[in-house]
Amino acid sequence: MNKIGRKFLVNDNDKDLHTQFGYFKKEDIKKAKSGIKVVSNTGKKFTVFDSSFIDLYKRIKRGAQIIPLKDIGLIVSETAINNKSVVVDAGSGSGALACFLANIAKEVISYEIREDFVKIVEHNIGYLGLKNVKVRNKNIYDGIDEKNVDLVVLDLPEPWKAAESAKNALKVGGFLISYSPSIPQIMDFVNTIRKHEDFVYLKTSEIIEREWEIDERKVRPRSQAIGHSGFISFARKI
């Protein structure tokens, strides 16, 4: 793997590695060990290091729109899931959230209604080398097979329809989170949760990340930024 300014290149194919600063032959890449510097055919210096989960995660296959890292950050910090946690996620989409959570939790079971997306998720699980994620090709509104789970995360069009399934699957004190891009979805989800005697509604938040460009004395917010992604609503089963 090599760094070009802000970019890191992952070489996971048995091919020569071509970059805008020259190329490396596959035989030379295979011999390269983590920590050493290598020089491309045009004389540019690269540092080789072993890729970590995040390097591979950023290259997963995409079918459905994936949840951004800034939003995953809030889900993880508000629930404090750890290596004892069992998590249910739906819909899997590209499996981005399911795979990220599986890198932290004991087990993730992901529900996806579309067979073509299930295949993408299975590919991504294999690519990331995860052994603790299962994908179920099922409609989550019809129920969740698992019981006593610590967290149910919903990223699908009508999350309020999964409230009963989530209630039956969650342990008391477990978290129910819904991630939705638009206001009518949060309204219907929160109103359903507020009326439900087995849930306590906690809050809804939107995370706005503003990255800054720092180049000598040119210090300012980056001109291209992520706009709106989604609202995150939190509840707990009682």
Token digits for 45?
């210096």
Residue of the chain from 17, 93, 231, 232 that contacts ligand SAM (CB under 6 A): 93
Site string for ligand SAM, 29-68 (x = CB under 6 A): -----------------------------------xxxx-
Token digits for 74?
């809030």
Q: Which stretch binds ligand SAM (CB under 6 A): 126-134, 153-161, 163-171, 197-205?
A: 153-161
Comparing CB distances to ligand SAM, the nearer of 17 and 232 is 232
Can residue 230 be called a binding residue for ligand SAM (CB under 6 A)?
A: no
Mark out the alpha helices in 62-175 (DSSP H runs).
69-79, 96-102, 115-128, 163-169
Mark out the alpha helices in 107-217 (DSSP H runs).
115-128, 163-169, 183-195
Can residue 96 be called a binding residue for ligand SAM (CB under 6 A)?
A: yes
- In the complex, minimum distance from the CB of residue 28 to ligand SAM, in angstroms, rounded to a whole number: 35
Comparing CB distances to ligand SAM, the nearer of 157 and 221 is 157
Nearest to 81 by CA among 67, 100, 62, 65: 100
- β 149-154/86-90 pair status: parallel
Q: Which stretch binds ligand SAM (CB under 6 A): 11-19, 32-40, 41-49, 155-163?
A: 155-163
Token digits for 196?
């439900």
- In the complex, minimum distance from the CB of residue 1 to ligand SAM, in angstroms, rounded to a whole number: 24
Comparing CB distances to ligand SAM, the nearer of 90 and 109 is 90
φ, ψ dihedrals at 232, nearest 5°: -120, 120
Cα 154 to Cα 72, 158, 177, 188, distances in angstroms: 12, 9, 6, 14
Comparing CB distances to ligand SAM, the nearer of 1 and 118 is 118
Comparing CB distances to ligand SAM, the nearer of 16 and 78 is 78
φ, ψ dihedrals at 129, nearest 5°: 70, 30
Q: 165, 144 in Cβ contact below 8 A?
A: yes
Restricted to residues 105-144, the positions that interact with ligand SAM (CB under 6 A) are 111-114, 117, 139-141
Which residues of this chain interact with ligand SAM, rule CB under 6 A?
64-67, 90-91, 93-97, 111-114, 117, 139-141, 155-157
